[in-house]
């Protein structure tokens, strides 16, 4: 599956569905973990497995600029659990753009692509957990219509945790 962005010609992002176990996805996921170490002092301890991102219950993509993997992200289906999650939720995971490719709108393109694929898969709300040490991520999500929701997941009791959600209306 390929998609190009509406970004300037110099920043056309080719989005490929790769799966979470693809070598490019693994490389970028390892880089995002190091970003968490720099910002929070440790990797993200949230449980993640390749099969969490198998369609139709999930999806993982890598974004390429001129064949170079520069961005990644995915979603996995979540259901109501009495812990802030609702039936039909899709949780955004490992959204990341390498430093050299930031500031070009690639994260926004990737986010909208992932929202669209989740909507097509019948998911009704996109949810995410980020942190206070990622102000640029929070700003992106707010600008895309995400609002605070009940905290969920591994970091729900952390003061640094920020959980947001957005309905996936047609």
CATH code for position 95: 3.40.630.30
Please write the tens of the pLDDT for every residue from 143-158. Answer: 999 999 999 998 999 9
Please say if the pLDDT value at position 70 is more than 90: yes
Cα separation, 77 vs 118, whole angstroms: 9
110 lies in some domain: yes
Q: Given this model, what pLDDT does residue 95 score?
A: 96
73 CB-side CA count, 13 A: 25
pTM, two decimals, is 0.90
4 lies in some domain: no
Expressed in percent and rounded to 5, the helix, strand and coil fractions of the chain are 30, 30, 40
Mean pLDDT of the chain: 92
1 lies in some domain: no
Q: What is the CA radius of gyration of the chain?
A: 15
Q: Given this model, what pLDDT does residue 11 score?
A: 57
Tokens standing for residue 120:
């097509």
Instruction: Kindly report the three-state secondary structure assignment for every residue of 101-113.
Output: HCCCCHHHHHHHH
User: How confident is residue 84, by pLDDT bands cut at 50, 70 and 90?
Assistant: confident
| DSSP class per residue in 42-95 | S-------GGGG-TTSEEEEEEEETTEEEEEEEEEEE---SSS--TTEEEEEEE
Q: Given this model, what pLDDT does residue 80 score?
A: 81
15 lies in some domain: yes
71 lies in some domain: yes
* Residue 18, SS3 per DSSP: coil
DSSP letter assigned to residue 12? P
Q: Given this model, what pLDDT does residue 170 score?
A: 57
Cα separation, 106 vs 33, whole angstroms: 19
Please say if the pLDDT value at position 10 is more than 90: no
Total domains, the chain: 1
127 lies in some domain: yes
Tokens standing for residue 72:
């990644």
147 lies in some domain: yes
Residue pair 153/131 in contact by the 8 Å Cβ criterion: no
What range defines the domain where residue 108 resides? 9-167
123 lies in some domain: yes
Residues 69-91, mean pLDDT to the nearest whole number: 91
């Amino acid at each position: 599956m390929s998609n190009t962005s509406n970004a300037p010609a110099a920043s056309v992002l080719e989005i490929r569905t790769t799966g979470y176990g693809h070598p490019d996805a693994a490389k970028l996921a390892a880089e995002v973990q190091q970003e968490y170490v720099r910002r929070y002092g440790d990797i993200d301890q949230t449980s993640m497995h390749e099969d969490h991102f198998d369609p139709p219950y999930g999806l993982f993509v890598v974004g390429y600029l001129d064949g170079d993997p520069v961005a990644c992200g995915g979603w996995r289906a979540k259901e109501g659990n009495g812990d802030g999650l609702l039936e039909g939720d899709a949780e955004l995971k490992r959204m990341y753009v390498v430093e050299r490719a930031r500031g070009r709108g690639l994260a926004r393109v990737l986010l909208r692509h992932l929202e669209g694929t989740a909507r097509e898969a019948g998911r009704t709300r996109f949810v995410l957990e980020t942190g206070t040490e990622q102000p640029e991520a929070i700003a992106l999500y707010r600008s895309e219509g995400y609002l605070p929701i009940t905290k969920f997941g591994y970091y729900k009791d952390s003061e640094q945790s920020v959980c947001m959600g957005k309905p996936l209306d047609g």
